[in-house]
Amino acid sequence: MSRYDVVVIGAGPAGAATAIRAARGGASVLVVDQAPYGRDKVCGDGLTPRAVAALDELAIPLDDAHRIDGLRMIAGRQVRELPWPGGGRFPAHGAVWPRRRLDAALIDAAAAAGAELRWQTEGLPVVDDDGAVTGVEAGGERIDADLVVLAAGAPGRAARLLGAERVADEPFGLAIRAYVESPRHTDRHLEACLTLRDPSGVAVPGYGWMFPAGDGTVNIGVGALSTMKGFKALNLNTLLDAYRDVVRDAWSVGPYLDRPRAWRLPMSTVRRHGRGWVAVGDAAGLVNPMNGEGIDYGLESGMLAADLFLADPTSAPAEYDRQVGARFDEFLRTGRRFAFLIGHPWILRSGLRVAVGTQAIANITLQVMGNLVDSDTPGAAGRVLTVADRGLAAADPLLRRTRAAA
């Protein structure tokens, strides 16, 4: 039997950030991932300015990524192209970095910092009779740890053992992506088309994206929220094909370079800590319900978990829960309520006109779409969030009662 200070289950951005920070701080760290080294992750590959700030904090060079200066939002015939704001906590640029390469860069940095890695190894938490997590079972071996970090992405077997599943009646998302060749692969803007329609013409709460990777390819995808009517019957492949038809001429897109692949976007969790463990990234439900992005939150929550462990291993899980809650809970709760709101097609239609229709509101939409808003956000976006949180709190019971039946 072996022992580490920290065992991380999952080598995505959240797990790698935890491992980098903990190992650099002097902790002994093991990361296990059930996939082989160099695995891909179904993703839009978009890095918000917030994600760039987190990568800077981890000292990960972005030379291999394609720089992005802003967001182009499209709602029907309205097109609004806005630069990332900068000037605050986050830089004025984002990036597109295909996940196969981003995740390899991150986990290589963890290894360079001294973390041990085991690939093609499923890790499952070991829970003692008192409910405390004492280590993991991995590859037929029992490994003890002072802290087990669940960084396993959307809930699976490991999350079930910890009761860290998605909250059943909260919204979640599904998204699909592929790569295409396009002469516009060096475009410096992310493009989000907010007016998606399913094949029967029903407005879909979600968006279609073109995220140029600068390497000859563009990541094309669509995502939808579970609050829409007919969600269970929604065919993401058909939705993606319909979106590709919409952008075909403007982007001169070629055929899909790979089979389109879909994955889940968890937006809540029943619990994200307990004695001896914490959940980070998607495993903690840290995905923005308004845009499906979570790489930045994964990096931040991983760093926070590691820092708190280095400061005091015993109090780290409870303190992590408190600090993650203070940073994200209000915004994510508002986002989930917003997801119920736009599940109603007529609210979605009029909301979109407002969201992109005027410059002032579009600036706020930009901040929301860039994951730039949280409990520390000053200015208009922060105030709007607080007002929206109160307003939506009052409307929440009604929104849930009248939610579009699946």
Ligand X SMILES: Cc1cc2nc3c(=O)[nH]c(=O)nc-3n(C[C@H](O)[C@H](O)[C@H](O)COP(=O)(O)OP(=O)(O)OC[C@H]3O[C@@H](n4cnc5c(N)ncnc54)[C@H](O)[C@@H]3O)c2cc1C
Which residue ranges make up the site for ligand X (CB under 6 A)? 9-15, 32-35, 39, 41-46, 51, 122-124, 151-153, 156-158, 175-177, 221, 263, 265, 281-283, 287, 292-296, 298
Q: Which is nearer to ligand X, 206 or 344 (CB)?
A: 206
CB-based contacts of 330, cutoff 8 Å, min separation 6: 375, 385, 386, 389
From the CB of 398, what's the least distance to ligand X, in Å?
30
Q: Could you give the CA distance from residue 298 to residue 380 in angstroms, rounded to a whole number?
A: 26
- DSSP-based three-state secondary structure for 230: coil
Return the axis-axis angle of helices 295-311 and 13-24, rounded to nearest 10°: 30
Closest to 95 (Cα-Cα) out of 84, 105, 85: 84
Tokens of 135: 């280590």
B/e letters for 88-121, b = 16+ CB within 10 Å, e = fewer, are eebbebbbbbbbebbbbbbbebbbebebbbbeeb
Type of residue found at 164? A
Q: Could you give the CA distance from residue 188 to residue 69 in angstroms, rounded to a whole number?
A: 6
How far does Cα 224 stand from its chain's mean position?
Answer: 14
From the CB of 136, what's the least distance to ligand X, in Å?
8
From the CB of 369, what's the least distance to ligand X, in Å?
11
From the CB of 313, what's the least distance to ligand X, in Å?
22
Q: Which is nearer to ligand X, 5 or 45 (CB)?
A: 45
From the CB of 139, what's the least distance to ligand X, in Å?
10
Please name every residue paired with 179 in a beta bridge, in sequence order, or none if there are none.
Answer: 219
Q: Which is nearer to ligand X, 12 or 382 (CB)?
A: 12
Q: Which is nearer to ligand X, 256 or 263 (CB)?
A: 263
From the CB of 376, what's the least distance to ligand X, in Å?
19
Q: Which is nearer to ligand X, 152 or 399 (CB)?
A: 152
Type of residue found at 111? A
Closest to 83 (Cα-Cα) out of 194, 190, 183: 190
Q: Which is nearer to ligand X, 124 or 348 (CB)?
A: 124
Q: Which is nearer to ligand X, 107 or 399 (CB)?
A: 107
Asked if 161 and 125 count as a contact pair (C-beta separation under 8 A), the reply is yes
Q: Which is nearer to ligand X, 46 or 49 (CB)?
A: 46
From the CB of 123, what's the least distance to ligand X, in Å?
4
B/e letters for 59-69, b = 16+ CB within 10 Å, e = fewer, are ebebeebbebb
Asked if 95 and 212 count as a contact pair (C-beta separation under 8 A), the reply is no
Please name every residue paired with 17 in a beta bridge, in sequence order, or none if there are none.
Answer: none
From the CB of 190, what's the least distance to ligand X, in Å?
8
